[in-house]
Amino acid sequence: MKVALGQFAVSRDWQDNSETCISLMRRALAGEADLLLLPEAVLAQDISDPDRVIQAAQPLDGPFLKRILAASRNNQLTTIMTVHVPAQEGKVKNVLVVVRDGEIVARYEKLHLYDAFAMQESRKVISGSKVPPLVEVAGMKVGLMTCYDVRFPELARRLALEGADVLVLPAAWVRGPLKEMHWEVLVTARALENTCYMVAVGECGPRNIGNSLVVDPLGVATVKAGEGAGLIFAVLDPARIAHARSVLPVLENCRFAPPELK
């Protein structure tokens, strides 16, 4: 599987962000990617206006995703991102969507909300309650996670035991003391402990770190982006997964997995 990682700084205008996403989709297609991963919360954001995500939220059949779906038609590129969707009580849901050939083929409502480091995502976001599905892309099974989920190894392990070869992580990782180190260590750990590829994309800009990367099943970072906007590519090799799981059979050796998932 060839993956493309597109990182950019999300603006307050959904129209601008839709054009950026569509441009990255075109570039990913030109690079013959099977999968394009974009950051978390790409619909609209404004660091000077924390309530912008609520004001700008759109339903899944709203104009933002209609543009994305139209751009995805008549090709086999799978594109993954998260958007804020209106919910009850004046709040929103942080919904990961998997888009392919004009359709939303899977969705996932973020389980773990970022109530940490003096931030409180739950003030405006309602958490999901279901483990995300696996999605098949180019013959490989892809597990879905969103940003803060990476700090909870139980979810990644559950997805790996269900058969994930690849774990994807759209994120908006906030800058701060040691935060870049946390990002790389956590992404690497989730790959290594589950012998999966990790594909992690971070928003860049004045508040977020960027630093998108791919880590292979033995903990080797194969590509990395810097702090600015850009598109990078990586090839994920099923043979590398098979090798990792033959020399490091942690999924077979795990004694805490429910029998039906082993």
83-137: pLDDT as tens digits: 999 998 899 999 999 999 999 999 999 999 999 999 999 999 999 999 999 999 9
189-243: pLDDT as tens digits: 999 999 999 999 999 999 999 999 999 999 999 999 999 999 999 999 999 999 9
Those residues with Cβ within 8 angstroms of residue 8's Cβ, 6 or more apart along the chain or in another chain: 20, 24, 39, 203, 204, 205, 229
% the chain with pLDDT above 70: 100
Starting at the edge strand that comes first in sequence, how are the strands of the sheet with 197-202 ordered? 134-137, 140-144, 166-171, 197-202, 213-215, 221-224
Gap between the Cα atoms of 262 and 240, Å rounded: 21
Over range 161-185, report the average pLDDT: 97
**Annotated catalytic residue, options 21, 93, 110, 203:** 110
* Averaged pLDDT of the chain: 96
Q: Could you give the 3-state DSSP secondary structure of residue 219?
A: coil
Q: Give pTM, 2 decimals.
A: 0.97
Smallest CA-to-CA distance from 222 within 233, 209, 238, 210 is with 233
Active site residue 162: no
Active site residue 204: no
CB of 236 closer than 8 Å to CB of 140:
yes
CB of 11 closer than 8 Å to CB of 17:
yes
- What is the band of 51 on the pLDDT scale with cuts at 50, 70, 90? confident
Gap between the Cα atoms of 17 and 29, Å rounded: 18
- What is the band of 262 on the pLDDT scale with cuts at 50, 70, 90? low
Over range 150-176, report the average pLDDT: 97
Those residues with Cβ within 8 angstroms of residue 42's Cβ, 6 or more apart along the chain or in another chain: 10, 17, 20, 21, 81, 82, 83, 203
CB of 14 closer than 8 Å to CB of 57:
no
**Annotated catalytic residue, options 21, 147, 196, 204:** 147
Smallest CA-to-CA distance from 196 within 222, 175, 178, 219 is with 219
**Annotated catalytic residue, options 21, 40, 196, 204:** 40
Over range 180-188, report the average pLDDT: 98
Longest alpha-carbon distance in the chain: 50
pLDDT at 250: 96
Active site residue 147: yes
